[in-house]
Structure 1
Amino acid sequence: MKEPHFDEADQASKQAPKTAEASSTNAIQEETLGNTALNQQNTPPLLLDAQGLSRYFDQHCAVQNLDLSLHKGEVLGLLGPNGAGKSTTLQMLTGNLAPSTGQIQINGVDLLDNPREAKQHLGYLPEQPPVYRDMRVDEYLHYCARLHHLSGKKATLAVDNAKQHCGLTEVGTRLIGLLSKGYQQRVGIAQAILHQPDVVVLDEPTVGLDPIQIREIRHLIRELGNHHSVILSTHILPEVQAVCDRVQLIHQGQTVFNDRLQDLAERHAQPVLNIRFSKAMDLIADLKKDISTARQLKNIGIQRIVPISPQEYAFHHAVGEAIVPKLMTFAVANQWAVSAMIPQIATLEQIFMDLVHNEQEAAADDNTTDAGHDHNEINNENEIENLLLAQPDNKINVNLGKPHE
């Protein structure tokens, strides 16, 4: 029996699907590699990379397992309350304090292994400007230039550029000690950028300045972001909003948040709706008397009600809950005379306080155990009394807990 004969056309038709499949796979791989390369091209270079930084003073841990990064052209706000570990972190990043654990690279150079080379890429203004009050501005800046191994025309050019960037052109011959505090701070910033470093670190640069000086220094910091990458340490929230691209919030030596400011606002949108009534009413007393109404509110997603005034109450609800239509229906059914429903918009200060408060609560939870009773559940009328909780501002609220499944 002869074996079946396949001509070239038949063989080509059988091979075509495999060839097409291979071509498609190659195309997908090439597209993926191309997108990866494009993303790498669009991502600014990493100029500062700190991993796992910790610093102990005897038994006290000032900074614990902190990661921090800074890309080219970025202004990063290192935000935290006094005593959060900001200055300790900056001292480690600038090579003035060795970390107990962790590593730091400045423009690819290991700060601990090659400190002299790494510091060539750094400019630093500590909280107390390192200026000599009995020296003139030009004299001091030329002295700083020599410390950076600049001399002759290079030193003169560097001093002139720093003075121009910092608005010091007209005060070069004046004694630093006779300048205003705002101008002394400008001199401190000028010495930090004199050698054109890749990374400029500023520790609380506006502390003690008047409002006009603060505005001028903030404008200067924003301008620095066009030529350098900047780390700004501060506990002043409006300062972060005014000049920073990204914020890293630290509390008790640990990172609480690290992202862009707009993402911070979006991620911590307030799940609160303020309802204003056309006349004064005692909603808290009404809910205490009517357990069924309280239960209905709970079941549509209301978790807590806080009085703002006799005519306005804040309704806290689950995150992502489309609460407005439900509350409108509920208000009509219960004949509430509602004049306005206004979503609360969180300020950066509120978000900051919430983040810190949440960290403190989490730490407290680690050291305590729950007795096992769910205080957020309404089981009977008597339990309403237990759901009246005092707020930090001494306002009373009804805590309705989570809706039933």
Structure 2
Amino acid sequence: MRIAADHLVKRYGSKESVSDLSFTLEHNCILGFIGPNGAGKTTTMRMLCGIMSPSSGQVFINGMELLADPVRAKQQIGYLPENAPLHGSMTVRSFLHYCASMRGMGGKQRTFAMDRVMESCSLRTVADEEIEALSKGYRRRVCLAQSILHEPGILVLDEPTDGLDPNQKREIRALIKTMRERCAIIVSTHILEEVDAVCDRVLTISAGRKVFDGDVAEFRAVSGGSLEDSFAKLAGEDGQ
């Protein structure tokens, strides 16, 4: 499975939010997508998932141009937004049933998919509890579960552990790492320890432009010190 961004540009009037961004990612790799606030990360994620159209450039999912064949291409994408909406009055089971139905699943296929994600996301013990009664960590697990119901080959995660406590972060990160063999995974985060904990590769943007693309060791070597030092050297001015 492969996702490729080819010279993506997003303009708002005369301002470019994303400028000439290109990269490719294949399965068995977790890409940490980082940059200062306002650098264009969320805009890029939305273009990669087909939620927002680029002003120019293209996104390819396994060779399919996303906007030319959006239905087939999006069947290969799982997306976890930063503030994913949940229906608090629904139980975990009923919410996943609803999401699977929206994906066109029914009968045994839907039941199997729900069982699979509840097992992989450790949700069985809370399957019949209302979502609004769950801890933030469990709610994040539910969000992640809905994103993998259809077994996507591309997984796009926006701030997957934001706001979680240390134990919850560790659990979600471990879960993400178990998916790397069957997915190409993009993790957008402002938490640099997350890059160190789960990512194989780092893509950094600043003011909408790519300023680094390499493995974690190469990113650290930019400053010869910590990830924070490398980030400041590459994108510090944009974040001020």
Of the three residues 209, 232, 235, the one matched with 1:353 is 232
Indicate whether 1:110 and 2:65 are aligned.
yes
Paired amino acid for 1:209: L
- CA drift of 1:128 comes to 0.8
Indicate whether 1:76 and 2:76 are aligned.
no
Indicate whether 1:215 and 2:94 are aligned.
no
> Contact 2:223 / 2:233 at 8 angstroms: preserved in 1?
no
1: CA distance between counterparts of 2:10 and 2:53? 8
Cα offsets for 1:259-307 (capped at 9, x unmatched): 11112234x253xxxxxxxxxxxxxxxxxxxxxxxxxxxxxxxxxxxxx
Q: Secondary structure at the match of 1:96?
A: coil
- Structure number with greater Rg is 1
2: CA distance between counterparts of 1:79 and 1:356? 10
- CA drift of 1:59 comes to 2.2
Which has the higher relative contact order, 1 or 2, with Cα contacts under 8 A spaced 6 or more apart?
A: 2
Of the three residues 136, 143, 155, the one matched with 1:188 is 143
2: CA distance between counterparts of 1:226 and 1:167? 19
Q: Which residue in 2 is equivalent to 1:205?
A: 160
2: CA distance between counterparts of 1:269 and 1:82? 21
Of the three residues 31, 37, 41, the one matched with 1:86 is 41
Indicate whether 1:261 and 2:177 are aligned.
no
CA root-mean-square deviation: 1.3
Cα offsets for 1:165-215 (capped at 9, x unmatched): 111111110111111111111000000000000001000111111222111
Paired amino acid for 2:143: G
Paired amino acid for 2:193: P
Task: Give aligned pairs, total.
Answer: 238
Q: Which residue in 2 is equivalent to 1:326?
A: none
Q: Which residue in 1 is equivalent to 2:193?
A: 238
Q: Provide the identity percentage.
A: 45
1: CA distance between counterparts of 2:101 and 2:210? 38
> Contact 2:159 / 2:187 at 8 angstroms: preserved in 1?
yes
2: CA distance between counterparts of 1:156 and 1:228? 22
Q: Secondary structure at the match of 2:230?
A: helix
1: CA distance between counterparts of 2:156 and 2:164? 19
- CA drift of 1:118 comes to 0.4
Paired amino acid for 1:176: I
2: CA distance between counterparts of 1:165 and 1:250? 32
Q: Secondary structure at the match of 2:150?
A: coil
Extract unaligned runs of 5+ from structure 2: none
Residues 1:348 and 1:162: Cα distance change in structure 2 (over 3 Å): same
Extract unaligned runs of 5+ from structure 1: 1-44, 271-345, 361-405
Q: Which residue in 2 is equivalent to 1:123?
A: 78
Q: Which residue in 1 is equivalent to 2:54?
A: 99
Q: Secondary structure at the match of 1:214?
A: helix
2: CA distance between counterparts of 1:234 and 1:81? 10
TM-score (norm 1): 0.57
Cα offsets for 1:232-269 (capped at 9, x unmatched): 00011000000001000111111110011112234x25
